[in-house]
Structure 1
Amino acid sequence: MKKTIVNLCRLVLATVFILSGFVKAVDPIGTQYKIEDYLQAMNLGAWLPDAGALILSVVISATEFCIGIFLLFAIRRRLCSHLAVIIMALMTPLTLWLALTNPISDCGCFGDAVVLTNWQTFWKNVVLLAAAIVVMKWPTKMVRFVSESNQWIVVNYSLIFTLVISAWSLYDRPQFDFRPYHVGTDLRTGWMQMMEGQESPYADFFIERMDNGEDITEEVLNNEGYTFLLVAPYLEQADDSQLDLINQVYEYAQEYDYPFYGLTASGEKAINLWRDLTGADYPFCQTDGTTLKTVIRSNPGLILLKDGVVIQKWSHNLLPNEQELEKPLEESTLGKMPDDTVGKRIVRILLWFVLPLMLLTIADRLWAWTKWIRRHKKLISYINKKEVKMRKKIVAGNWKMNMNLQDGIALAKELNETLKAEKPNCGVVICTPFIHLASIAQFLDQNIIGLGAENCADKEKGAFTGEVSAEMVKSTGAQYVILGHSERREYYKETPEILKEKVLLAQKNDLKVIFCIGESLEEREAGKQNEVVKAELEGSVFNLSEEDFRKIVIAYEPIWAIGTGKTATAEQAEEIHAYIRSIIAEKYGQAVADDTTILYGGSCKASNAPELFAKPDIDGGLIGGASLKAADFKGIIDAFK
């Protein structure tokens, strides 16, 4: 649920940031105007020149767009989520101030594409701030669409794309025109509706001649032919680099008798200066400056009307050239509505930005998927071929009742130093008499050699003179305990019920149990070995849950081979080990059986250990007499090399 909520918040934030950044990027001059409106509302207009506001406009649009893309692709998740919170934490109180004081009618969050009231903008920002906080709190819950190694492509491509869009929109015009004067707009109909008292965006649109003060708006819009309008909101700031082309278009209009008007909000002084500079003979008309800024994002810019409909717009950088002005408009492509529709422009955006990122995402995910498949195929193949080696291999020494404290410490130290110098390829455990445990635990590196006891009591505590509880064993630092050894069963009459209690108490105190099973010579000769080992398991450990049974290590010890010099052949040992694994599978399933470590304990020596340990179902040994000398014990351990 948490992951779902975070990713929903992330997608909402990404969508809003991308949309907001994109509409600003395609109209950087419009964003510049909005920044200037903000500064004027806060009485800071003089602090930032026009060029500074334009640069800030481009930076804001690129930042918003890139953060949106990075959130969408989960790039630099922590950084981007923090940036989103910072931006929303700044914008939310600002829009609250706008809602309360209403110094400007629209915050400009989405340019002219989506116009919100100030209160709508504030509540939108409250929601986005909450979403940003959720994402910042759990940034790693955002699902990546592109792997970290390929994220630099998205980062650089997104930044370059938004900067190129802004640059081209500044040089030409906005790629998407959301204003009420876009190409295809019927100004005549809109203006007439306004004149009839209907609500209209053309309330401030008027054309008034400078020479006589006559309002010629209706005359211009009702003209049945073509009309050129040179739009220069403020001539003092107009670009004069294309004066020859402007005059050339005017001469062309005169040649074919097309009306040509200059529209400006500047006064007579600025108009006269422009005429002196350009030699312009075309008449100038007065129009509202804000309206002219809305009409075209170029100063100056050129508009062509036909029957009151806007059919062409040109920025001062891309005015019609001499070759395009050879024929009258009725016979020229200049006089027709351009075929560069909104749909085509959307397709271009999809082809140049969305499609490459989609292809990158698909390729990246396919590559990650094939890597996952290859890795898992290799792992599955390894498990299938080397399943036995996946189980823990252990060589455990059972010292029995041998060696005094000093000798035991000396042997443990020798083993510890030897195996530290030459790391073993298996787990090693030494199970010692109770008196050794606490002393040996102080210096034994149990990352290399585990320490275990040879027995523990079947009672937790109480008046049981001479017994040692599982809790006491654990308190010495021991990790393991041997239970069910044939000598305990034979000499001390330990029954399956007693052993069941010992196993439960050992596991309760987090001791790993090495549980011994095995048949006598008579039972072997009678062919009852399978019945015996199954009964011993069922009587003492098959009552455990699957989770607890997984903590058991089984040690098969043919009683007839302990201390007699006799050893079961490798084939005999493998046969009974395979049977033990099969009855574990019957009880707990094949997966548990495959994971259970089964040791062999019966006169195992360095000479026969390699052959025994090579068998697929023999996972090590429980070693008696051969564990009392470091060299002999290490020889058995080395069988795994």
Structure 2
Amino acid sequence: METNFTPTRKKTQTADILLNISRIFVGILFIFSGLIKANDPMGFGYKLQEYFHVFKMDFLNDYSTWLAVIICGLEIILGAFLLLGFYRRKVAWGLLLLIIFFTFLTFYSAFFEVVTSCGCFGDAIPLTPWQSFIKDLVLLAFILIIFKYKDHIQPIMAKGTGRGFVTFMVFLISFGIGIYTVFFLPFIDFLPYKEGHHIPSLRVLPEGEEGDVYEFIYTIKHTSTGETKDVTDKEYMGGIWEDENWEVIGEPSSHLVKKGYQIPIPDLFISDAEGNDMTDEIITNPYYNFVVVSTYVDKLSTADIIALDRINTTIRDLSSDYNLRAVLLTASSSDIANRLNEEMDLVLEAFYADAVPLKSMVRSNPGVLLMQNGVVIKKWSKVTFPSKEELEEAYLQK
């Protein structure tokens, strides 16, 4: 009798081992991924907007940040419940549906080259589309094991008051983190404009570093025979360019040979209304410089306008007593900025930059950076910008 049951017992033990390994791996990874993105839901929302554009769902753009909060919260909840053993069947189905959806997105991004980074781990751990797809395939394999043996999962707590409280706390923390960081900025800033960074030095290639190396391909044609062939720039400059029998057809193409040092801030260009380059003047200002960032001032809500008015009033009061500068950076047109200035009587000088670097400066619209000599001293969201007295005590009277 015992011999007949041994294979079944061993098979059950093997299944339980596979299930427990899968639960730990998937649970921890889902919690980690959800927490990283919940730390910066606005940034993840920008990534969602890229997908919305690809699938012609731009009508969802205005809701991208809150959709990001929901997705991040669900990831954390599924991961936590998987480790706790709660709601095993619902969790197994949720994990399976979510990973199938993510795998489709990452494959579509990689194959059609439509989104350069999936944002799976936010800006903390950038992944290429193919890396993201492979990661999702690995996760899919583990989740299939969880789905197959979901009935073997045992909760660490029996049903009752204690389990209900834990469930409530999981929901509260999972969604609360994302909601908090929407209003109060990320706990950890992974972007190049973080506090303490010297912006001018992040715009240039450091001494001793090498940038990306590209190879250029020329298509050349023999003037007598009509023969055409492709040659590299080294081959072309090695002597072919001197041969009058060969002529270049069209424009050369290029491809990356070796990836080099990536300049953290390669795209910052600040101009005035006439298009003059004002970047260095603004970011290297030796005095305290309040940089108010509003990516699109024409998209400010009523609450945003109220916040901007409070920021503007505070800075105006400070400017009468201290030598400081205050600027507004926006990607909106000068006409829109001028109209806002007339309506609100802004003390801020309006300058213009592309939306991409502005979105990286501060995850709030509007948001404020306090800079001096190119260094980001402090960042505030529209909610956390302090009063005149607090700013004087913390910075200006020192």
Match of 1:167 in 2: 179
Equivalent runs, 1:465-480 vs 2, <5 Å = none
Q: Is the 8 A contact 2:287 2:323 kept in 1?
A: no
Distance in structure 2 (CA, Å) of the matches to 1:307 and 1:258? 12
Distance in structure 2 (CA, Å) of the matches to 1:331 and 1:192? 33
For the structure 1 residues 199 and 321, does the alpha-carbon distance in structure 2 shift closer, same or farther, using more than 3 Å as the test? same
Deviation of 1:223 (Å): 3.0
Distance in structure 1 (CA, Å) of the matches to 2:394 and 2:141? 59
Match of 1:20 in 2: 33
Distance in structure 1 (CA, Å) of the matches to 2:375 and 2:329? 17
Deviation of 1:326 (Å): 4.0
Unmatched tracts of structure 1, length 5 or more: 333-641
For the structure 1 residues 173 and 15, does the alpha-carbon distance in structure 2 shift closer, same or farther, using more than 3 Å as the test? same
Q: Is the 8 A contact 1:10 1:142 kept in 2?
A: no
Match of 1:563 in 2: none
Stretches of 4+ moved more than 4 A in 1? 194-198
Q: Is the 8 A contact 2:74 2:174 kept in 1?
A: no
SS state of the match for residue 12, structure 1?
helix
Distance in structure 2 (CA, Å) of the matches to 1:277 and 1:137? 62
Distance in structure 1 (CA, Å) of the matches to 2:278 and 2:206? 16
Equivalent runs, 1:397-416 vs 2, <5 Å = none
Distance in structure 2 (CA, Å) of the matches to 1:185 and 1:306? 11
Q: Is the 8 A contact 1:265 1:288 kept in 2?
A: yes
**1:168-223: per-residue Cα shift (whole Å, max 9, x none)?**
2122212222222121222121113379965212111122122x432122223333
**Aligned residue type for 1:94:** L
TM-score computed with the length of structure 1 as normaliser: 0.49
**1:529-575: per-residue Cα shift (whole Å, max 9, x none)?**
xxxxxxxxxxxxxxxxxxxxxxxxxxxxxxxxxxxxxxxxxxxxxxx
Match of 1:597 in 2: none
SS state of the match for residue 204, structure 2?
helix
**1:216-263: per-residue Cα shift (whole Å, max 9, x none)?**
222233333422101111110131112033232144145311122111
Match of 2:148 in 1: 137
SS state of the match for residue 111, structure 1?
coil
Deviation of 1:271 (Å): 0.5
Distance in structure 2 (CA, Å) of the matches to 1:127 and 1:64? 17
Distance in structure 1 (CA, Å) of the matches to 2:360 and 2:166? 34
**Which of 276, 290, 301 is the matching residue for 2:356?**
290
Match of 1:204 in 2: 267
**Which of 195, 210, 232 is the matching residue for 2:294?**
232
Distance in structure 2 (CA, Å) of the matches to 1:329 and 1:89? 51
Distance in structure 2 (CA, Å) of the matches to 1:268 and 1:223? 23
Deviation of 1:300 (Å): 0.9
Match of 1:44 in 2: 57
SS state of the match for residue 284, structure 1?
strand
**1:475-497: per-residue Cα shift (whole Å, max 9, x none)?**
xxxxxxxxxxxxxxxxxxxxxxx
Deviation of 1:328 (Å): 8.2
Deviation of 1:62 (Å): 1.2
**Aligned residue type for 1:139:** K
Match of 1:222 in 2: 284
Q: Is the 8 A contact 1:260 1:282 kept in 2?
A: yes
**1:93-118: per-residue Cα shift (whole Å, max 9, x none)?**
22111110111111111121211000
Moved more, 25-34 or 217-226: 217-226
TM-score computed with the length of structure 2 as normaliser: 0.77
SS state of the match for residue 173, structure 2?
helix
Larger radius of gyration: 1
Is 1:4 the equivalent of 2:17? yes
Distance in structure 1 (CA, Å) of the matches to 2:89 and 2:322? 64
Distance in structure 1 (CA, Å) of the matches to 2:366 and 2:155? 46
Deviation of 1:144 (Å): 3.7
**Which of 121, 135, 141 is the matching residue for 1:110?**
121
Distance in structure 2 (CA, Å) of the matches to 1:102 and 1:26? 27
SS state of the match for residue 133, structure 2?
helix
Is 1:252 the equivalent of 2:318? yes
- Relative CO higher for 1 or 2, CA cutoff 8 Å, sep ≥ 6? 2
Distance in structure 2 (CA, Å) of the matches to 1:56 and 1:74? 26
SS state of the match for residue 303, structure 1?
strand
**Percent identity, aligned pairs only?**
30
Distance in structure 2 (CA, Å) of the matches to 1:13 and 1:126? 12
Distance in structure 1 (CA, Å) of the matches to 2:276 and 2:58? 34
Match of 1:60 in 2: 71
For the structure 1 residues 202 and 116, does the alpha-carbon distance in structure 2 shift closer, same or farther, using more than 3 Å as the test? same
For the structure 1 residues 261 and 9, does the alpha-carbon distance in structure 2 shift closer, same or farther, using more than 3 Å as the test? same
For the structure 1 residues 178 and 240, does the alpha-carbon distance in structure 2 shift closer, same or farther, using more than 3 Å as the test? same
Distance in structure 2 (CA, Å) of the matches to 1:204 and 1:73? 45
Is 1:266 the equivalent of 2:329? no
Distance in structure 2 (CA, Å) of the matches to 1:295 and 1:329? 20
SS state of the match for residue 170, structure 2?
helix
**Aligned residue type for 1:102:** E
**Aligned residue type for 1:220:** I
**Which of 158, 182, 197 is the matching residue for 1:185?**
197
Match of 1:241 in 2: 306
Q: Is the 8 A contact 1:28 1:54 kept in 2?
A: yes
Distance in structure 1 (CA, Å) of the matches to 2:167 and 2:394? 48
Distance in structure 1 (CA, Å) of the matches to 2:21 and 2:322? 60
Distance in structure 2 (CA, Å) of the matches to 1:193 and 1:251? 40
What value does the CA root-mean-square deviation take over the aligned residues? 2.1
SS state of the match for residue 208, structure 1?
coil
For the structure 1 residues 194 and 218, does the alpha-carbon distance in structure 2 shift closer, same or farther, using more than 3 Å as the test? farther
Aligned residues: 329
For the structure 1 residues 326 and 88, does the alpha-carbon distance in structure 2 shift closer, same or farther, using more than 3 Å as the test? closer
Equivalent runs, 1:340-379 vs 2, <5 Å = none
SS state of the match for residue 116, structure 1?
coil
**Which of 138, 156, 178 is the matching residue for 1:127?**
138
**1:452-488: per-residue Cα shift (whole Å, max 9, x none)?**
xxxxxxxxxxxxxxxxxxxxxxxxxxxxxxxxxxxxx
**Aligned residue type for 1:13:** V
SS state of the match for residue 292, structure 2?
strand
Moved more, 160-169 or 100-109: 160-169
Deviation of 1:19 (Å): 1.4
Is 1:94 the equivalent of 2:105? yes
Deviation of 1:78 (Å): 2.0
Q: Is the 8 A contact 2:368 2:380 kept in 1?
A: yes
SS state of the match for residue 29, structure 1?
helix
**1:551-602: per-residue Cα shift (whole Å, max 9, x none)?**
xxxxxxxxxxxxxxxxxxxxxxxxxxxxxxxxxxxxxxxxxxxxxxxxxxxx
Structure with the larger strand share: 2
